[in-house]
Chains A and B, each alone.
Chain A
């Protein structure tokens, strides 16, 4: 179930341990098929998600970056995702000024029970990145 035809693109996911990582596990346990482009980095909380990791990934050759955490008000640490939402929204808004399509980066909320939603998010985001194609390249 590859979103593109043939070549995979590089998508890096940053997931909070308590909600979205569990949601991705739930999707796995339920065998909800997904495109294979995404690689997941586990964070304790989206509050740990420095927007600079996103920039670092895009500058290092990632074609897309996805952050997913607990729904607002459900943060395991009470407030982490509230701070994350502000930081990540701001970082997303800076992308076009730098020449990156803002669609290369999304942040969202998926709970540990929402395996189906995780499948939808991964599938839609992977398709989105394939529509945008490979990220801008640095070599001349």
Chain B
């Protein structure tokens, strides 16, 4: 075998703390290395060209590139070696940047380490074998989980692109958080006026199957061929019969049900349609409030329903769907405003969240768009807004900036002035974060045209005084304490990962960060992909973001799915398990442990049971290889011999030293 080694400077990223030329020089003495050199930027066009040329000039059989992490550029270099005429799997990377030059300061130690890592890669490469991908058919349907604006956009774009879409929404209507908003920044256009038509498009689109009030129960399979089970939660209303006339809601005697859509600022009926523009416009019974469920008698809705749609006996049901890709657009939830005891959220009725305030501002909200204090219905004249409630605060484990609160607070001060011209808004803020198109101008308008008073500082306490609230805080620009007598206090609550996000991630086998936001495959270059092929991200499930960014990601995820489905077949990763028929004794332990059902027992010609890998189902985890006592099933490209070679390469030096001592 003739191996070529290319050690990358990565400008000064590696060369700054590793003697790159020295590593290349050392590599010349490694087993079967026929050529070694250093390159300034191996991933650049001239860098790749140098590799291709060296392969051809020196008739190399395999290539080691010592550079950044293989999670970054392994595909790049595999393509390069393929251009040079080699099989793309005759290639190994040594990670001498993320795992070496960037984390160690001692140049000698780093150089020794880099040299070891190159030897390790060379030793592994010696056992590399050419691998060929297999093609398999794909199912060109896509599942979108979450019917907020990001999911709606993704579903519509996919459907317009000709794909069949299954859209899942856990509440009884699509629309998500955006449907609750009154106006949107920085244009102050009506939220439901721009979202409503899209929601209607979803319901009318021939390519979209919508399951509302449904959740993802389980996911099996892999890119191109997922099988998902959808749990349709019992609504107690036959949606095929329900026309959304609303008569049941009107007559329902249970009038104290919690209204999630209105953020609990006013009660709703035990049977309800969340809002007039709901899609689908269908009623749902909340059994925690329904008298029929609590007391066993009532039945008013069943009596009044003109289509006899009420079914108190309804059970959860399950539907199976086959799809080739999944877009998760599960959005976010709001920080629990009760966690800051000093602000009095949850204790004082006139301390409310920004989303509750949206519902007060909204013409279709419970107050008909009249701003009224929850305590006495009085119109507030002085409104205090407190920003960063659950953002940028390590003490509540929310060190990140939610990114949109500065903007919606500015919007709410403008709307407050619009609704109550003789009102005064005060905003306690840490910094103003307005880095979008027309965003900073917008916050300026709130201050300059609408007279909102911005006070840079935190609030220490909110407490009741007569029939109003005293907000005590600090003005850090003046260096003085301030106290404001407020009629209403609005807490600008931050975003957090939606409840149940981690459970869903586990079903989809995608990663999430410490806060429950889903991990993209690369923070800059693969922002809507996940590390699980065929699963994509859209919207705030990946991290807090505003409407334009969510819509952009929805479209981006759709574009990724459309690109994935542009071919009729996908190539499977050939790094799968391979059975040595001679060595397999047919004990079936691998069949028992394989998480994918990718191994089955078949009979050889003599009738002996032998394990058999279904290559397109195997995901390449290697669990079977460790389970098999005689190592008859080997994960290709990560074989026992390859890992043993790496262990030996790394321990060789230590072993020699131990013999010396």
Q: Are A60 and B655 in contact (CB under 8 A)?
A: yes
- Pair A44/B657 contact, Cβ less than 8 Å: no
> Which residues 74-119 of A have a CB within 8 angstroms of B?
74-80, 83, 87, 111-114, 119
Q: Tell which of A10, A27, A83 has the most Cβ of chain B within 10 Å.
A: A10
B505–A50 CB distance below 8 A: no
- Asked if B621 and A113 sit within 8 Å, CB to CB, the answer is no
Cβ A34 vs Cβ B514 within 8 A: no
Instruction: Chain B residues near A40: list those with CB within 8 A.
Output: 95, 99, 117
B51-59, B147-155, B368-376, B645-653: which lies at the interface: B645-653
Query: Is B95 in contact with A1, judged by CB distance below 8 angstroms?
Result: no
Q: How far is the CB of A5 from chain B (nearest CB, A)?
A: 12
Across the interface, name the chain B residue whose C-beta is closest to A16: B621
CA distance A117 to B26 in the complex (A): 33
Given contacts A41-B650, A48-B623, A61-B658, contact A74 B506 (CB under 8 A): yes
Question: Which one of B102-110, B428-436, B485-493 is at the interface?
Answer: B102-110
| B contacts with A, residue count (CB < 8 A) | 62
Q: Given that A48-B621, A138-B658 are known contacts, is A31 also in contact with B511, CB under 8 Å in the complex?
A: no
Q: Which of B72, B97, B627, B647 has the most A CB atoms < 10 Å from its CB?
A: B647
Question: How many whole Å from B460's CB to the nearest CB in chain A?
Answer: 31
- A50 with B625: CB separation less than 8 A: yes
Q: B623 and A28: CB pair below 8 A?
A: no
Q: Say whether A2 contacts B106, CB under 8 Å.
A: yes
Q: In terms of DSSP, what is the predominant structure of the interface of chain B?
A: helix
Asked whether, in the complex, the Cβ of B513 is within 8 Å of the Cβ of A79, the reply is no
Whether B519 lies near A112 (C-beta < 8 A) is yes
How far, in angstroms, from A12 to B653 measured CA to CA in the complex? 13
Contact partner of A10 (CB less than 8 A), chosen from B69, B532, B621, B653, is B653
Q: Which of these, B102, B105, B110, contacts A29 with CB under 8 Å?
A: B102
Given contacts A27-B103, A80-B623, A139-B658, contact A60 B595 (CB under 8 A): no
CB contact under 8 A between A61 and B654, given known A25-B98, A28-B103, A44-B635: yes
Which B residues lie within 8 Å of A70 (CB)?
A: 511
Q: What is the bound-complex CA distance between A11 and B99, given in angstroms?
A: 14
Given contacts A8-B109, A12-B651, A31-B102, contact A25 B71 (CB under 8 A): yes
CB nearest neighbor in B for A75: B509
B465 is an interface residue with CB less than 8 A from chain A: no
Q: How far, in whole Å, are A21 and B103 apart by their CA atoms in the complex?
A: 14
Q: Is B190 an interface residue (CB 8 A)?
A: no
Main secondary structure on chain A at its contact with chain B? Answer: loop
Q: Assess whether A45 is interfacial by the CB under 8 Å rule.
A: yes
A43 touches B622 (CB 8 A): yes
Distance in angstroms between the alpha carbons of A53 and B646 in the assembled complex: 10
A15 to B116, alpha carbons, bound, how many Å?
17
Cβ of A27: which chain B residues have Cβ within 8 Å of it?
A: 98, 103
Write the A30-68 contact mask toward B (1 if CB under 8 angstroms, else 0). Answer: 011111100111111101111001001100111100000
The residue from B99, B506, B638, B644 contacting A44, defined by CB atoms under 8 A apart: B638
Interface presence of B299 (CB below 8 A): no
A27 to B95, CA, bound (A): 13
B640 part of interface (Cβ distance < 8 Å): yes
Is the pair B69, A25 in contact by a Cβ cutoff of 8 Å?
yes
Cβ–Cβ contact B506 & A73, under 8 A = yes
Contacting pair B106 A36 (CB below 8 A) = yes
Is A18 an interface residue, CB under 8 A from the partner?
Answer: yes
Residues from chain B with Cβ under 8 Å of A29 in the complex: 98, 102
Q: Distance (Å) between the CB of A46 and the closest chain B CB?
A: 9
Check A79–B104 contact: CB distance below 8 A: no
When distances are taken between beta carbons in the complex, the residues of chain B under 8 Å from A134 are: 658
Chain B residues 607-661 with CB under 8 Å of chain A are 619-623, 625-627, 635, 638, 640, 643-644, 646-648, 650-655, 657-659, 661
A63→B653 CA distance, assembly (Å):
12
Q: What CA separation (Å) do A60 and B659 show in the bound complex?
A: 11
Q: Mark B360-391, 1 if CB is under 8 A from A, else 0.
A: 00000000000000000000000000000000
Tell me whether B267 is interfacial, beta carbon within 8 Å: no
Task: Tell whether, in the assembled complex, residue A36 and residue B110 are in contact, meaning their CB atoms are under 8 Å apart.
Answer: yes
In contact, B120 and A47 (Cβ under 8 angstroms): no
Query: A73 vs B532: C-alpha distance in the bound complex, in angstroms?
Result: 15
Q: Is the CB of B531 within 8 A of A18?
A: yes
- Tell me if B402 counts as interface (CB < 8 A to partner A): no
CA distance A41 to B123 in the complex (A): 12
Inside 8 A of B619's CB, which chain A residues have their CB?
77
A83 touching B643, Cβ below 8 Å:
no
B509 engages A62 (CB within 8 Å): no
Residues from chain A with a CB closer than 8 A to the CB of B635 are 44, 48
Whole-angstrom CA separation of A76 from B132 in the bound complex: 23
> Roughly how many angstroms separate A8 CA and B106 CA in the complex, as a whole number?
12
A39 touches B106 (CB 8 A): no
Instruction: Please state if A43 and B638 are interface contacts (CB–CB under 8 Å).
Output: yes
Task: Establish whether residues A77 and B595, one from each chain, have CB atoms under 8 Å apart when the complex forms.
Answer: yes
In the complex, besides A12-B651, A31-B102, 6 extra interface pairs with C-beta distance below 8 angstroms are A19-B511, A28-B103, A33-B105, A61-B655, A80-B595, A112-B519
Query: Which 6 A-B residue pairings sit nearest by Cβ, starting from the closest?
Result: A28-B98, A48-B622, A61-B654, A60-B651, A47-B623, A77-B621
